[in-house]
Amino acid sequence: MYIVFYAIKIKPNQEENFIEAWKGLTSLIYKYEGSLGSRLHKKDALNFFAYAQWPDKTTFDNAGGNLPEEADHFRNRMKATYKKFEVLEKFEVIEDLLKQEQSKM
């Protein structure tokens, strides 16, 4: 499994808009690009942390070409809500001892 960590700083009063756009885009990436999904965490009012899971680095590297036009809508909505969106790190998973839950996507 391959993991990508993100740090996001949103604009004031944009939390709800950011989360909705993030959920929409993440769902499309899951459905059309083969990701294993993503988790979003809130540090404080303006700072979020997310990580996306992929089956492997190759799937991640090749992602992007299969998304429907609807993805642009979510991307643009999300871009309007944040000041900074950066990739912090990319890692291979060595062991996974998280409890497996039924996907909500």
Q: Residue 103's pLDDT is what? A: 60
**In the predicted structure, residue 67 carries a pLDDT above the cut 90:** yes
Give the neighbor-by-neighbor strand order of the sheet with 82-92.
37-42, 47-54, 2-10, 82-92
What structural domains and CATH numbers belong to the chain? 2-92 (3.30.70.100)
| Dihedral angle, C-alpha 49, 23, 46, 40, nearest 10 ° | -20
* CA quadruple 85, 88, 91, 95: dihedral sign: negative
pTM: 0.88
Read off the DSSP letter of residue 67: -
Provide mean pLDDT across the span 70-77: 97
pLDDT value for 101: 72
Q: How confident is the model at residue 104 (pLDDT cuts 50, 70, 90)?
A: low
Q: State whether residue 23 is helix, strand or coil.
A: helix
* Per-residue H/E/C for 41-61: EECCCCEEEEEEEECCHHHHH
Residue 100 pLDDT class (50, 70, 90 cuts): confident
pLDDT at residue number 83: 98
Which whole number is the average pLDDT over 17-45?
A: 97
Report the candidate in 19, 32, 34, 22 with the shortest Cα–Cα distance to residue 75: 22
At 87-98, the pLDDT tens digits run 999 999 999 888
What letter would DSSP give residue 89? Answer: E
